[in-house]
Amino acid sequence: MQQTIIKKNRVILIHGLHQTPFIMRPLAKRLQAQGFDTHQYGYRSMRDGIKTHSQRLHAWLEANHHPEQPIDLVGHSLGGLIIRDFITAYPQWQIGRCVTLGTPHNGSICADYIWRLTPYIVGKSYVDALDGTVVPLPEHITLGVIAGDKPYGLGQLFLQYHNRKMRKADNSLLSKNLVHDGTVYITETKLNAATDHIIMPVSHTGMLVNPTVAEQTAYFLRNGQFQR
């Protein structure tokens, strides 16, 4: 009896702001160990805007990937917003499943502070992306969202200040609305159109090297939901 071999989709890993493809390597290696074919896609996160990032991802796929083979997309932070823009701008690609890690789907308060103080630090990644105005998620996309609740990272300086200001303005504000991963609030990661959402005990950058995050990412890519 001939055994049927199920070929997994190619997984495109997209890094976040101020990062390079290398930062996705630990996650890529763990996915590869589970049989996934991965590619760490790189882009110039400050020099170019989100429309350029999507266009160049499309051009790379045209040169390196057969359009009839579905792809899965995994994005960290800004990378998740690029996924949303890309799948809307280039619907001809067959998208399997998507996972975003610490992505501010509703905009980034941390980026807002930085934009007002020193806009060159976020560059062109603020407009139409980190400002919360990225295009809506298409209805047919299966998206899993992973958020972290460990407040470690440079962004916590801005978010600690913001939390104090919010508590002063509203004493009844629930503490759960002020939980973040050191850069992104959990509330900023939530998207009504997402298929599943899970909170894990990791920081914004730490989630990229966390083995359990990798396991949950792989599980979602296989099953369309996180493991509970």
Domains of the chain: 10-223 (3.40.50.1820)
Q: Is the pLDDT of residue 44 over 50?
A: yes
Q: pLDDT tens, 144-179?
A: 999 999 998 878 788 887 778 877 776 665 677 789
Inter-residue contact 57 to 43 (CB < 8 Å): yes
Inter-residue contact 144 to 195 (CB < 8 Å): yes
Q: What is the pLDDT of residue 120?
A: 87
Is the pLDDT higher at 23 or at 161?
A: 23
Q: What is the pLDDT of residue 3?
A: 42
Q: Is the pLDDT of residue 184 over 60?
A: yes
Rounded to 5, what percent of the chain is helix, strand, coil?
45, 15, 40
175 vs 198: CA distance, rounded Å? 18
**pTM listed for this prediction:** 0.92
Q: pLDDT tens, 113-141?
A: 999 988 888 899 999 999 999 999 999 99
Q: Is the pLDDT of residue 74 over 90?
A: yes
Q: How many other C-beta atoms are found inside a 10 Å radius of the C-beta of residue 97?
A: 23
